[in-house]
Structure 1
Amino acid sequence: GTRLNQLRLKRGEPPRLATVSVGVDLESEAVAGFRARRHAGVVDMDRVGGHDPRDFWEPLAPRRGELLLDPGEFYILASREAVEIPVLQAAEMTPIDPSVGEFRVHYAGFFDPGFGAAEAGAAGSRGVLEVRSHETPFLLEHGQTVARLVFEPLTERPSRLYGEGGGHYQKQGLKLSKHFRPWS
């Protein structure tokens, strides 16, 4: 019964409505991100809030608004900007120009209708960025554009908006998945 995938269906070639740049937030002097610990245990996907984040993640504090990504490591960071997806649209996080370097930031790159929208009770939600540098170290700077959101129209209004009635990822800032207890 564990669900690990989503299915999105498209009819024809929907027009892309807009593209919005997404920057990275490295301004915090405390914790601005997390790096996955190597050789951590297995995450039981059915145990919501059942894992101590310290067993799986190492908190990161940037220096002078910069963070050096080590090749092959996996990071959780947050977008600098709040993200708002209108109720009649969805958005996908896409890579920026690959000539800027070998890193990927869009592993969990789909944003449902209503994410961060005031109508769903979530104005001010920031996107969580799942980031990996590949073959070489990569220096990120506060505010640097790391991805783009590409918006597409829906054929009809969803019967339920993302996070309506409260959701783990609405009104978020930097946050690990729902499988981890809050950092303490």
Structure 2
Amino acid sequence: MAGVLASQQIEDMIAKGAITVAQPLVDGQIQPASLDLRLGNVAYRVRASFLAPEGQTVAERIEEFEMHRIDLTNGAVLEKGCVYVVPLMESLALPDGIQAIANAKSSTGRLDLLTRTITDGGAEFDRIAQGYTGPLYAEICPRSFSVLVRPGMRLNQIRFRNGQSVLTDQELTALHESDTLVSGGPAVIGDGLGFSVDLEPEGTDLVGYRAKPHTGVIDLDRIGEYDPADFWEELRTTNGQIILDPDAFYILVSREAVHIPPQYAAEMAPYLAMVGEFRVHYAGFFDPGFGHAAAGGHGSRGVLEVRCHEAPFVLEHGQVVGRLVYERMDEMPAQLYGAGIASNYQGQGLKLSKHFKS
């Protein structure tokens, strides 16, 4: 078969040495269709973001751009607006035919914490070619809030693929007819399943949150402890529209409730049409079982992490802002999102990251 590797296949890769770990795995690190990556013991403050193209290593580039290094052992603050590179506890020796793609975890994206994976000889962020052997690094740029981090924290995740098995629009249409991939709005299918923004929620005029520009530090180990009012402004509207301010960061929610059947995984991608001067940040892996009734969900909204560029832009209720690309699993995962594992966002609506009080 071909497709995204499931949790039990990731365990097999670890057993065979295709994935090596500097410290033993922790509970919950292996997800239904991905592996969480852990920060190592040191962060390098660098002058600028970079890649290490063919013939170069990330370590060599760190020597070129390093400003200073930070020991994370007892915790350290990564400052808003700065760029850091952190060696990860996991490294790879990918076999031929297996490639990998990395992405920020949901809670990372909801804090506007730009986190990307870089490799030796890598021409792109977050894309790892088949046969790659070497270390992994996280590039971290806090954009809205300064954060306190420690070794072992999991800010991004990696997904492994055996070949390509992205569903065509025809296959996606057939799957929607049999499994109801989206409810609460029409199925807009074109290079994936389109989703739109909800600015007319039932029973409330609260439609989202905007990050405050001057706030305290967020300790990423503190769950459910921060008052949202200290970090976020509530967004309310009664006319189905809001105006996005340049360089501001917003948490909004999709109008549609999304369903990922157990045999499939999905990835959030930006809407490619020229819809306006904004971008939906795609922290973007959706695991098998997300919004699935048997795993505790009956469709779950997609939380949208939105940043406006250049000029103010009017966002309207129901405007398509992104798409979900569905892909087959290589095997049925031994565990599903929301079923017996910690899944913070099953059945979610408009929701800030897990660090904030409900």
2:252 touches 2:305 (CA, 8 Å); kept in 1?
Answer: yes
Q: Which residue of 2 aligns with 1:12?
A: 163
| Bigger mean CA deviation after superposition, 39-48 or 161-170 | 161-170
TM-score, scaled to structure 1:
0.93
Maintained 8 Å contact 1:108/1:129: no
Counterpart residue number, 1:143: 318
Q: Highest relative contact order (Cα 8 Å, sep 6+), 1 or 2?
A: 1
Aligned to 2:198: 25
CA distance in 2, matches of 1:156, 1:3: 25
Q: Give CA-to-partner distance per residue, 1:81-112, whole Å, 9 cap, x none.
A: 00101111111111112422221113322211
Structure with greater proportional helix content:
2
* Aligned 1:1-184 pairs, distance under 5 A: 1-17=152-168, 18=172, 19-28=192-201, 29-165=204-340, 167-182=343-358
- Whole-Å separation in 1 of the counterparts to 2:256 and 2:154: 29
Deviant stretches of 4+, over 3 Å = none
Q: Percent identical across equivalent pairs?
A: 59
- 1:123-167: per-residue Cα shift (whole Å, max 9, x none)? 131111101111111111111100011100110111211122463
Aligned-partner Cα distance in 2 for 1:39–1:164: 38
The letter of the residue matching 2:153 is: T
Between Structure 1 and Structure 2, the one with more strand by share is 2
Structural RMSD (CA): 1.4
Which segments of 5 or more consecutive residues in structure 2 lack a partner in the other structure?
Answer: 1-151, 173-191
Deviation at 1:51, TM superposition (A): 1.1
d(CA) in 1 for partners of 2:322, 2:264: 18
Count of residue pairs brought into register by the alignment: 182
Kindly name which structure, 1 or 2, has the bigger radius of gyration based on alpha carbons: 2
Contact (CA 8 Å) 1:79, 1:129: kept in 2 or not? yes
Provide structure 1 residue ranges, at least 5 long, that are not aligned to the other structure: none
Name the amino acid aligned to 1:119. Answer: A
